[in-house]
Every structure is written in structure tokens, then in C-alpha cells.
């Protein structure tokens, strides 16, 4: 007999709510860093940050928020990868 654990609610409403809450917290962190640094955030940038649900992307934005000169620069590396945009995963080819 095998045992499969789905804790803490994998694939359920609970997991979805957890991930949304995590994304919301990341967005607040990014916006707070920009605010503390005195960097103006346009409505379009704010919308892009708050509507993103890709936690890896948001982690990258949080790191960049500490050093960028403009809020739009958060997305500079994202635009270099074709087919990426808000909430879409970044896919990079590995040379080989």
C-alpha cells in the first residue's frame, strides 16, 4: 500500500489562495522598495506588478527593485526574451 500526501492541499482552492497571497505579498514588497527609494511607479507598471502570478519572475523583480533607476527597468531582462510578458514564464535556451 502506498501513501500519497497532497498536503498542504496541492491543486486545491487552498493552494491557489496560498499562491495568490504569496504573489500579493511579493508585489507589495516590490512596490515598497521602489517607494522607499523614491522611484515613481506609473499605473501601467503597478498593474503589471500586481497582476503577475509568476513567483520566480516576481523574485527577480524584487531583486532588481533594489538597483534599478526607473520602475520600467524591472522588466528590462523580461523583454529580451521573445514571447514573455506579464505572468508568462521565462524560457531560456541552454547552449549545447
Q: What is the secondary structure of 57-74 as a DSSP string?
A: HHHHHHHHHTT-SSGGGG
Q: How many other β-carbons are positioned within 10 Å of the β-carbon of residue 63?
A: 13
Q: For 1-57, write each residue's pLDDT tens digit.
A: 555 555 555 666 776 666 677 788 899 999 999 999 999 999 999 999 999 888 889
H-run or E-run covering 49: helix 43-51
C-alpha cell at 48: 503589471
Judge contact between 55 and 22, C-beta under 8 A. Answer: yes
Judge if pTM exceeds 0.75: no
Amino acid at each position: 500500500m502506498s501513501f500519497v500526501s497532497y498536503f498542504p492541499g496541492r491543486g486545491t482552492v487552498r493552494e491557489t489562495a496560498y499562491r495568490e497571497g504569496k504573489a500579493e505579498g511579493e508585489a507589495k514588497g516590490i512596490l515598497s522598495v521602489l517607494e522607499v527609494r523614491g522611484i515613481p511607479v506609473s499605473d501601467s507598471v503597478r498593474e503589471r506588478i500586481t497582476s503577475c502570478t509568476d513567483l520566480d519572475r516576481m523574485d527577480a523583480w524584487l531583486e532588481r527593485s533594489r538597483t534599478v533607476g526607473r520602475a520600467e527597468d524591472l522588466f528590462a531582462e523580461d523583454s529580451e526574451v521573445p514571447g514573455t510578458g506579464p505572468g508568462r514564464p521565462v524560457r531560456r535556451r541552454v547552449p549545447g
